[in-house]
Amino acid sequence: MDHARYESPLCSRYASDQMQYIFSPDKKFSTWRRLWVALARAEMELGLPVSAEQVAQLEAHLTDIDYEKAAQYEKKLRHDVMAHVHTYGDACPEAMPIIHLGATSCYVGDNTDVILMREALELVRDQIVRVLGKLAPFADKYKAQPTLGFTHFQPAQLVTVGKRATLWMNELLFDLHEVEHRISTLKLLGCKGTTGTQASFLELFDGDHEKCKALDEKIAAEMGFTATVPVSGQTYSRKMDYAVLSTLSGIAQSASKFATDLRLLCHLKEVEEPFEKNQIGSSAMPYKRNPMRCERICSLARYVMCDALNPAVTAASQWFERTLDDSANKRLSVPEAFLATDAILNIWANVAGGLVVHEKVIEKHVLEELPFMASENIMMDAVKRGGNRQELHEHIRVLSQQAGANVKDLGLSNNLIDLIAAHPAFSMLSREEITAHLEPARYIGRCPEQVTDFLEAEVKPVLAQYAAALEGEEAELKV
């Protein structure tokens, strides 16, 4: 590392080696060369003066890229594509005359961008599956563990720890389906020429329109795509970049929701992220166990969500068939969105695989609020024994305020049950009958069944479909 130069923390601190490789110079420029080979082969097969020997020479030099020479050419020519054409040609002198024949710069630039985005989406898809694979057993284990539900971050009816986890998973499944859709619908630009008319290829093929169409089809097939965009200017529509980054933004939103929930649960001391033996929570306060992993997820998620605005503005500001103000922005916004999303999912898998549940604290919080939740059932029992529903409701309202004041103003325990049992309006019920309502499992509804149904119907088929993704290495943090 050169410590005198800026280096993106997305590479040095956060993103995986796999995602960094997808957006590396080696991957980019070797893909340019693969596209030049595909073009030459298709032109040869369609009758242009391109020989099998020329194609073979191009294939023999797909990866031996002389970056120093390319940099020298670019400094001289001020054109990155032509710099690599000449560099490739120096390595393949017999093929030099036919490299890039009929094509414009976007042939290699835009097609490569689509190829890299698809490969990156496939990696993101596998990472999503790994997170789901970590959360599924957690949800199943705690599907019947009662916990306070929260609306407005105020205690509400009980849910379960496992049911809450399915909410996180459900949003992530939505993101997975979006990723699958993007992967299946991405199309290459193909060979469309300088303004999208294929005029140069129509000239090369002596006016044969069918050969122009066949050229696109052959290149798409060689690069692993079923189709190219039907019409374009010089570039594919920049809305494609926006669609992809919007999908990444959706993942970031789901991740931030999960991480924010966990940060709040950490504050409540109910559920915590992993905390390593030698980890330091604070340089000043030795006792601290800060949720730094989830805070990092939220931080990176904010970056991805904001970054999705870049291709939106780019798509909106393109002029007619082409303008170059997209180029510098695309070089930053698209790869960095993927690098940050990669980091988010890696951290999420790490957290999900090591969640710590403090069941006694959860039970304590449930029991502190349960008397309020049980009051309606107690009222119903009293009505069945001859009580007046409206009068009993008013008594419970007043008693609940007294119990609340004891908790909030005096720091005492919730004594609502004692107050109800002592009130003459509830004399038709014994204390045992009243306290029988203080069983948390009576207030979790169908949470266990919902978890089981969700895992069986929605999650297990996905984990089975992408079983290979679950065989990867355990998620570890770089720092």
Handedness of CA 45, 46, 52, 58 (dihedral sign): negative
Of these residues, 282, 413, 427, 430, which one is catalytic?
282
Looking up tokens 């070797």 gives 30
152 counts as catalytic: yes
Q: Check: CB of residue 104 under 8 Å from CB of residue 194.
A: yes
278-295 burial: b if 16+ Cβ within 10 Å, else e? eeeeeeeeeeeebbbbbb
d(CA 240, CA 187): 9
The backbone region for 321, taken as left when phi is positive above 0, alpha when psi lies in -120 to 50, beta otherwise, is: alpha
CA triple 414-415-417, angle to 5 deg: 120
Bridge partner residues of 154 (DSSP): 151
**Residue 159 φ/ψ, nearest 5 degrees:** -125, -160
3-state secondary structure the chain: CCCCCCCCHHHHHHCCHHHHHHCCHHHHHHHHHHHHHHHHHHHHHCCCCCCHHHHHHHHHCCCCCCHHHHHHHHHHHCCHHHHHHHHHHHHCCCCHHHCCCCCCHHHHHHHHHHHHHHHHHHHHHHHHHHHHHHHHHHHHHCCCCEEEEEECCEEEEEEEHHHHHHHHHHHHHHHHHHHHHHHHHCCECCCCCCCCCCHHHHHHCCCCHHHHHHHHHHHHHHCCCCCECCCCCCCCCCHHHHHHHHHHHHHHHHHHHHHHHHHHHHHHCCEECCCCCCCCCCCCCCCCCCCHHHHHHHHHHHHHHHHCHHHHHHHHCCCCCCCHHHHHHHHHHHHHHHHHHHHHHHHHHHHHCCCEECHHHHHHHHHHHHHHHHHHHHHHHHHHCCCCHHHHHHHHHHHHHHHHHHHHHHCCCCCHHHHHHHCHHHCCCCHHHHHCCCCHHHHCCCHHHHHHHHHHHHHHHHHHHCHHHHHCCCCCCCC
DSSP strand pairing (146-151 vs 154-160): antiparallel
Q: Active-site positions?
A: 152, 282
